[in-house]
Amino acid sequence: MTEASRQFDFEGRIARDEKIEPNDWMPSRYRRQLVRMISQHAHSEVVGMLPEGNWITRAPSLRRKISLLAKVQDEAGHGLYLYGAAETLGAEREDLINRLLGGDARYSSIFNYPSVTWGDVGVIGWLVDQAAMVNQTMLTKCSYGPYARAMIQICKEENFHKRQGMEIMAVLSAGTSAQRAMAQDALDRWWWPTLMMFGPPDEESPHSSELIGWKVKMKSNDELRQWFVDLAVPQAEALDLQIPDPELVRDSKTGHWISGPINWDEFRSILEGEGPCNRERIESRRESHFGGAWVREAARAYEEKCRKKKALERESL
Ligand code: 3HC
């Protein structure tokens, strides 16, 4: 088959909503786009452990500590699923991680903000994980099989993350005035960065149209952002918390909640590494990566020992 006929065949499969699998032919650009997106997603999951991990030793009760531990542990697992999905495209996990540690790889902008009170843990679960779910629910229909399938398991766990966050916010917002103030302060600080999670506005997104054409993304950044806002505004009302957007208004015709302008300069500064926690996050990742090198060496040594033992057993047969 010529390259052109392979391309034609590939486009036909995408049009028929067939899943592309690791051993199938795919355009090199499709492969590169998926490695970019999936590796960033994996990095986001692992870096995303840091703001919440910061509160595990300070959780207000054993029950809160257990659920936060479980959530943070889930995020590590999501990172492993996604590094595994990137490897099915021929990417080397070590290369991907070294690019992150070298400051040459992106992860979600949202994790460059500090988690300063327990209210932040609640709002991260309630808003950030719900935003991730909106995005990941779309990705369960992605044309690349391993990515779509990883999303199905991840979304189930994200639902627990969202609910534990909402419960924290419900308790705080129904609590003392200090607890209510803590919940509102956390919402004030995390609302706009959560809207930025969905990426730049559609007209400034260089990748969206190609990714939508290949059914990697099924919706645009702005469509997902709108879906999230329509979910979160009534929830904030139910929590008796104020969304920090004086221009937020409901469109009576469409029923959508229309947000005020997003500070894209802030978003761009985060992407340029100038956010409140960019340096701290990469430093923490470097510290845990190099501090944990002995675990990887021990695992490799054990793997080598088992391999040699099996080889000797095969020779003795
Ligand atoms: N943070 C950092 N970089 C971002 C970003 C964000 N929130 N949004 C966009 N960007 C970057 C893109 O990576 C791209 O830069 P690059 O060319 O150097 O890679 C540039 O900005 C242009 O953005 P586009 O919208 O054109 O890029 P995409 O089409 O890739 O859309 C995306 C961005 C919506 C994040 C998309 O990549 C995506 O859906 N990724 C998969 C989901 C994901 O990564 N989610 C991150 C959150 S995971 C999480 O929250 C963990 C949970 O457990 C809490």
Q: For tokens 């992605």, name the residue.
A: 142
pTM: 0.95
Compute the distance from residue 290 Cα to the ligand 1 centre, in Å: 26
Q: What is the pLDDT of residues 165-212, one digit of tens each?
A: 999 999 999 999 999 999 999 999 999 999 999 999 999 999 999 999
Determine the residue of 30, 32, 37 to mutate for testing ligand 1's pocket, defined as the one with the most ligand atoms within 8 A of the Cβ atom.
37
Compute the distance from residue 48 Cα to the ligand 1 centre, in Å: 14
Tokens representing residue 118 in the block? 């327990």
Q: Is the CB of 221 under 6 A from ligand 1?
A: yes
Q: What is the pLDDT of residues 42-54, one digit of tens each?
A: 999 999 999 999 9
Contacts within 8 Å (CB) and 24+ apart, 238-243:
239/169, 239/170, 239/173, 239/183, 240/173, 241/169, 241/173, 241/183, 241/184, 241/187, 242/184, 242/187, 243/187, 243/191
Closest CA to 30 of 132, 145, 116, 123: 145
Q: What CA–CA distances, in Å, run from 280 to 173, 204, 274?
A: 30, 28, 11
Closest CA to 229 of 244, 215, 240: 244
* Banded model confidence at residue 317, pLDDT cuts 50, 70, 90: confident
Query: Is the pLDDT assigned to residue 233 strictly greater than 90?
Result: yes
Tell me the CATH architecture of domain 3-276: Up-down Bundle (1.20)
What residues form DSSP beta bridges with 250? Answer: 257
Compute the distance from residue 198 Cα to the ligand 1 centre, in Å: 7
Ligand 1, residue 44: give the atom nearest the CA: 48
- Ligand 1 atom 41 nearest Cα: 41
Asked whether 277 and 114 are in contact (CB, 8 A), the reply is yes
Residue ranges of domains in the chain: 3-276
Q: How far apart are alpha carbons 20 and 216 in whole angstroms?
A: 10
Ligand 1, residue 75: give the atom nearest the CA: 53
Using a 10 angstrom Cβ sphere, with 0-12 exposed, 13-18 middle and 19 or more buried, the burial of residue 187 is buried
Q: How far apart are alpha carbons 84 and 80 in whole angstroms?
A: 6
Q: What is the pLDDT of residues 194-203, one digit of tens each?
A: 999 999 999 9
Closest CA to 103 of 281, 252, 239, 308: 281
Asked whether 131 and 198 are in contact (CB, 8 A), the reply is yes
What residues form DSSP beta bridges with 144? Answer: 20
Ligand 1, residue 217: give the atom nearest the CA: 39
Ligand 1, residue 200: give the atom nearest the CA: 25
Which pLDDT does position 2 carry in this prediction?
A: 87
Query: Is the pLDDT assigned to residue 215 strictly greater than 90?
Result: yes
Average pLDDT rounded to a whole number, residues 101-119: 96
Report the C-alpha dihedral over residues 260, 263, 267, 270, rounded to 10 degrees. Answer: -140
